Amino acid sequence: MFNSILVVCTGNICRSPTGERLLRQLLPNKKIDSAGTGALKGHAADATASLVAEKHNLDLADHQGQQFTRHLAQQYDLILVMEKHHQEEVSTIAPEARGKTMLFAHWLKGKQIPDPYRQSQEAFEHVYQLIEQAAQAWATKLGNK
């Protein structure tokens, strides 16, 4: 069973913190964190990502970006990535993690969740909706919804 989940994107300031916090709400008995393949280490969540999350009663306030590493990968049962190229990056950094790495939107017909960084608030809203749908789907598949 998947008792620990790591959500991965590029910078770990927009998509993965949002996915992490949504999954934590939906799966409160699981260890859920996030990281980035090119993380802005120690950075807070993006201001627009935080604003959009707040509109949906989700708090990203204390988030700090962290780099995805092989050591980090070993600590989780499931790694969820936003785009297919993240699967390749995860496999390069931690080849043994390939088999436990899936798209965050896997249950949404394998959609990829685009990076809204430095785009409009509407782009962030669209991405939030995709992440929320995908998080709900994972919660259902993992038996908690």
For 56-111, the pLDDT digits (tens) are 999 999 999 999 999 999 999 999 999 999 999 999 999 999 999 999 999 999 89
Q: Is residue 15 annotated as part of the catalytic site, yes or no? A: yes
- What 3-state class would DSSP assign to 7? strand
Q: Which of 9, 21, 33, 46 is catalytic?
A: 9
pLDDT at 110: 82
Q: Chain-wide mean pLDDT for the chain?
A: 96
Q: Is residue 145 part of a domain?
A: no
Domain containing 91: what range?
4-139
Q: Which of 15, 21, 24, 33 is catalytic?
A: 15
**How is residue 14 annotated by DSSP?**
S
End-to-end alpha carbon distance in the chain: 16
Q: Is residue 62 annotated as part of the catalytic site, yes or no? A: no
Q: Is residue 14 annotated as part of the catalytic site, yes or no? A: no
Q: Which of 21, 62, 115, 118 is catalytic?
A: 115
Domain count for the chain, please give it: 1
Q: Is residue 121 part of a domain?
A: yes
Torsion of CA 124, 98, 5, 59, to 10 degrees: -20
Question: Phi, psi (5° rounding) for residue 103?
Answer: -70, 140
CATH code for the domain in which residue 121 is found = 3.40.50.2300
This prediction's pTM: 0.97
Q: Is residue 144 part of a domain?
A: no
Rounded to whole angstroms, what are the CA distances from 49 to 39, 61, 66, 115? Answer: 16, 10, 17, 11
Q: What integer is the mean pLDDT of 26-36?
A: 97
